[in-house]
Structure 1
């Protein structure tokens, strides 16, 4: 009996030694923590080890060479995994390569260096703006490292040091989020305005709107040169509005000290924007809205029925949108923000819609190439907080480890790690 136990032990050890891959399944039933699985994959890439992204295979699974250290890290972070023998993994690759199945295996080569564009803290170490950010929340939860930058660093050309840039919920039009009517007497609002004006003057601008225009133009150069930009909520539409309004005063007196240009609307240049066109500016400076790009106004959708659908792309012919829409479900719960969704009629014809609420005639998730780079726009504030208000507590992602809405953010973060394939023609 003892001899049989010894033989079984050595057989098991032999299987472990021969096993050559760790598979992180990403289907709903198997994976306990989808979000941390991205963090594991990023960590493996940071260790100078290549990985595979198995598009549409069990929810968009990840795989990388077996290593006891990697296995221990999966256990430590609570990520479900399977140890796969070399022959078995080759069988998976052969299954994926079948031209009759909508799957593809993408090699991930290098962990992208990540920058988050976000305001500084004040002298007391407090956040200047009293709201959180979904991207920094999920990066922290998934244990993916990032660095923060803001206007000074952008104008000093420090963007070139990064592969991926996230735009925090910024107002690039210089109107302080259009919070004036509700919050202009709040300490945080006044302090934010004072600090932004000081920063603008220090960098050589007479108005915050001029500073923000310089920033969006420098970010545009970053994307044209090959960078990847990801924006959520108000950082999407205000980015394009700022570009279209170059040289035009669209800020009312309470925001920049002088009146808005009465002919501002007719002077907008939509050819300069990334994604949107033919939009109408909101003329009331006290209205909590910038333009009609956002589909929040008049949006009569029952919160219980507010979902958007991810498009199903061809993994072999369209690997980029397939990567960006990897999920364990094609239907994602909607969520609101200052910019919740994008009206279809304001989206340029060359922009790829990745997710939409068809009955509402709105897009929630957009992507496109721009120059040598890429950008993605994602509507809403927090994928797991349907109505997130100013000064609400931040979401505890340990309660939402399978969040499909947060997975879409992480898809964008890993996308720059993919080995570039020649376009099929």
Structure 2
């Protein structure tokens, strides 16, 4: 009798093991909604379940333990998934571990807490939107990934220590209000923007907006140095580094701060203080819609030729850039912005170029390390809208669920989940 019971228990145990299974979310061309797939993975992590990021396996697929709840969530969000036996998943891991394969399996441990640096005011009269949208907040909302917002006061009060990942919304950190003066000086939203920023500067004890923004970029630099992850797009990339290089030297014309530019401003730039760029020249015409020659302008690239190629890194030796370049394509359609591309000549040698239009000698996607943390600069405004202008309606991402350009943003959002390190506060 005891022998029969032991055999029955063994058979039940074997049966339970054989039923153990894993949900695999493929991220190759078979995926129905690449963007929401990131949201599913974030949701799983947020439920205190670890996940795998299978680098270079079927477009950078995700995997986690099977449950009916996870399966229902995939169905609800329209994300393609496969339920596979654990034995098969272990076989996939063995295939990935083969030293001859340029793949790696990265364990994702904890959902990162996300902050978006963005103003809490609305510019356009009669509506609830600003005169431009922001790709990161659009894709976070579409992918159903939660985030909180911070702005200058919160940054200056050291609230960034509460977050794992920070996005710098479309911003001019030089204090020149985007250099929109010539085109929009009489627009109500522009006048309210200037008034709001000046009021915010005074509230925080600064005489000028440029001084306020310098205080902010220094706090962000400290955040990164202490182990934070910072992501910036469009004008928040080059204007951030320009503000660091200027370090209080007056580079703002009278239109923006009431007095003139320091005539020796160019020679006073300190490139050792910047994250990504060096040896650039400031744009001297204060009415030009450009901050410096970091932005590759004028470009000799037509819309039909505007593509950039993602570099192929060694997954096992260079997991960080490999994570950031996961995609179902290697060539991504370019898109414009106030800062559209980075001239190769001004990129520091220790900064990784992740995506480049080689014939045009311009980079579109950069990554680097500062202190214990990391930063990523992504040129352009909206990956799904080639020429997105002020006052254009926001992009409907349900029409672009497989956007390779938007996937690069979401790679950065999940990147901190693969790191478990203490940050200085």
Name the structure 1 match of 2:6: none
Does the 8 Å contact 1:106/1:419 carry over to 2?
no
Does the 8 Å contact 1:154/1:219 carry over to 2?
yes
Does the 8 Å contact 1:93/1:105 carry over to 2?
yes
| C-alpha distance in structure 1 between counterparts of 2:249 and 2:130, whole Å | 27
Name the structure 1 match of 2:109: 109
| C-alpha distance in structure 2 between counterparts of 1:31 and 1:395, whole Å | 21
Matches within 5 A, 1:342-421: 342-419=342-419
Does the 8 Å contact 1:119/1:128 carry over to 2?
no
| C-alpha distance in structure 2 between counterparts of 1:376 and 1:91, whole Å | 34
Name the structure 2 match of 1:53: 53
Instruction: Give 1:129 shift.
Output: 4.0
Matches within 5 A, 1:14-413: 18-28=19-29, 30-122=30-122, 129-295=130-296, 297-413=297-413
| C-alpha distance in structure 2 between counterparts of 1:125 and 1:173, whole Å | 29
**TM-score, reference length from structure 2:** 0.94
CA displacement 1:177-203 (0-9 Å, x = unmatched): 000000000000000000110010011
| C-alpha distance in structure 2 between counterparts of 1:125 and 1:79, whole Å | 37
Instruction: Give 1:19 shift.
Output: 3.8
| C-alpha distance in structure 2 between counterparts of 1:294 and 1:208, whole Å | 23
Q: Which runs of 5+ in 1 are unaligned?
A: 1-13
Dislocated runs of 4+, deviation >3 Å = 14-17, 122-129
Instruction: Give 1:125 shift.
Output: 9.0
| C-alpha distance in structure 1 between counterparts of 2:419 and 2:182, whole Å | 49
| SS of residue matched to 2:53 | strand
Indicate the larger mover: 124-133 or 205-214.
124-133
Does the 8 Å contact 2:18/2:85 carry over to 1?
no
Instruction: Give 1:126 shift.
Output: 5.2
CA displacement 1:306-329 (0-9 Å, x = unmatched): 100000000000000000000000
| C-alpha distance in structure 2 between counterparts of 1:188 and 1:419, whole Å | 41
| SS of residue matched to 2:363 | strand
| SS of residue matched to 1:394 | coil
| C-alpha distance in structure 1 between counterparts of 2:40 and 2:393, whole Å | 27
Instruction: Give 1:229 shift.
Output: 0.1
Does the 8 Å contact 1:128/1:188 carry over to 2?
no
Instruction: Give 1:144 shift.
Output: 0.2
| C-alpha distance in structure 1 between counterparts of 2:309 and 2:74, whole Å | 31
How many residues of Structure 1 are paired with residues of Structure 2 in the alignment? 406
Does the 8 Å contact 1:225/1:372 carry over to 2?
yes
Instruction: Give 1:128 shift.
Output: 7.5
Q: Which runs of 5+ in 2 are unaligned?
A: 1-14
| SS of residue matched to 2:382 | coil
| C-alpha distance in structure 2 between counterparts of 1:83 and 1:131, whole Å | 41
| C-alpha distance in structure 1 between counterparts of 2:287 and 2:379, whole Å | 22
Does the 8 Å contact 1:282/1:289 carry over to 2?
yes
| C-alpha distance in structure 2 between counterparts of 1:145 and 1:64, whole Å | 20
Instruction: Give 1:247 shift.
Output: 2.4
| SS of residue matched to 1:116 | strand
**TM-score, reference length from structure 1:** 0.94
| C-alpha distance in structure 1 between counterparts of 2:145 and 2:419, whole Å | 20
Does the 8 Å contact 1:129/1:192 carry over to 2?
no
| C-alpha distance in structure 1 between counterparts of 2:17 and 2:257, whole Å | 66
| C-alpha distance in structure 2 between counterparts of 1:378 and 1:26, whole Å | 22
Does the 8 Å contact 1:103/1:316 carry over to 2?
yes
| C-alpha distance in structure 2 between counterparts of 1:19 and 1:125, whole Å | 55
CA RMSD of aligned residues (A): 1.5
Instruction: Give 1:420 shift.
Output: 5.3
CA displacement 1:20-71 (0-9 Å, x = unmatched): 210000001x100000000000000000000000000000000000010000
Does the 8 Å contact 2:214/2:248 carry over to 1?
no
Does the 8 Å contact 2:311/2:325 carry over to 1?
yes
Instruction: Give 1:115 shift.
Output: 0.1
